[in-house]
Amino acid sequence: MPLKEENTNAESPDGRLQVRSLPGLALLTGAILLYVAAVPLARLTVFPDADVALFWFPVAIFASLVARLPLNWLPALIASVLIAEFIGTQLFEGVTLQTVWLVMLATAMEVVFVGLALKAAGANRLRRPLDLLKFALIVPVVLLASATVGALAASTTFGSDWFVSLSRASASP
């Protein structure tokens, strides 16, 4: 009986990209670098008084990967977004090491919730108008739900100051 040949290709037998392949690692590294590069631009969308962005758009990079890639990629994607968020917050935002873990958790939750919700609804390819409608309904609802953890991270009083700051920002002329 001949020895079984080990699959060292970048793709699995069904044609999907493998996490542990060189192209898979390159994809994850590229996503981390793109995320970190997008952080300064995303900082422009932050409300100055509240220090909160309505949508932290670098999250879309990893949320789209969660929505499109097989579920066996999820642990690697979560680890990658945690790394990217840590680097981004330390380089561009000056978040303290005491707070950064909560910001990382909030971002990872947002990525996973949005990506899995889009995957479950079948709105991960946007080929038809119905897919776009699902996307337009799912993303804001899931973002609002996961943003509560982000609000916790933005405030040491577990969110109450965040809502007060946001209401002051919207009340000023």
Residue 136 lies in a domain: yes
Dump pLDDT digits (tens) for 146-161: 776 666 666 654 444 4
Dist. CA 83–CA 87, nearest whole Å: 6
- Return the structure tokens found at 38: 């997008």
Residue 9 lies in a domain: no
Residue matched to tokens 């995957």 = 119
Q: Measuring CA to CA, which residue among 101, 98, 132 is closest to residue 118?
A: 132
Count how many domains the chain has. Answer: 1
Residue 126 lies in a domain: yes
Residue 12 lies in a domain: no
Structural domain boundaries enclosing 37: 22-171
Dist. CA 138–CA 132, nearest whole Å: 10
Residue 28 lies in a domain: yes
Predicted confidence band of residue 1 (pLDDT cuts 50, 70, 90):
very low
Residue 10 lies in a domain: no
Residue 3 lies in a domain: no
Residues recorded for the chain:
173
Dump pLDDT digits (tens) for 78-115: 999 999 999 998 888 777 887 788 888 888 988 999 99
